[in-house]
Every structure is written in structure tokens, then in C-alpha cells.
């Protein structure tokens, strides 16, 4: 049904957001470690 589809899409978007935050976090860690 549409509801299940929407739930799956929002879960995927949430995962993408988490990955983006993790990447930014690790980039900041790398920058602070190299300085």
C-alpha cells in the first residue's frame, strides 16, 4: 500500500541523512587530527 511505501522511503532518507552526518563528522575528525 501507499503507506508502507512512504514509510520505506522515509526510512531510506533517514539512512542517507545519517550517512551524510557521519561523513561530515569523520571529515571534521580528520581535519582536527591533521592540524
Of the candidates 10, 11, 29, 32, the one whose C-alpha atom is nearest the C-alpha of residue 21 is 29
The percent of residues above 90 in pLDDT, for the chain, comes to 83
Pick the residue with more confidence: 1 or 27?
Answer: 27
Determine the average pLDDT of the residues in 7-34.
93
- HSE (CB half, 13 Å, CA atoms) of 33? 6
pLDDT at 33: 83
Q: Is a pLDDT exceeding 90 seen at residue 23?
A: yes
Position 7 confidence tier, pLDDT thresholds 50, 70, 90: very high
> Maximum CA pair distance of the chain?
52
Determine the average pLDDT of the residues in 13-33.
93
Amino acid at each position: 500500500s501507499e503507506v508502507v511505501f512512504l514509510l520505506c522511503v522515509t526510512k531510506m532518507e533517514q539512512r542517507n541523512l545519517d550517512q551524510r552526518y557521519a561523513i561530515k563528522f569523520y571529515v571534521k575528525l580528520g581535519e582536527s587530527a591533521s592540524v
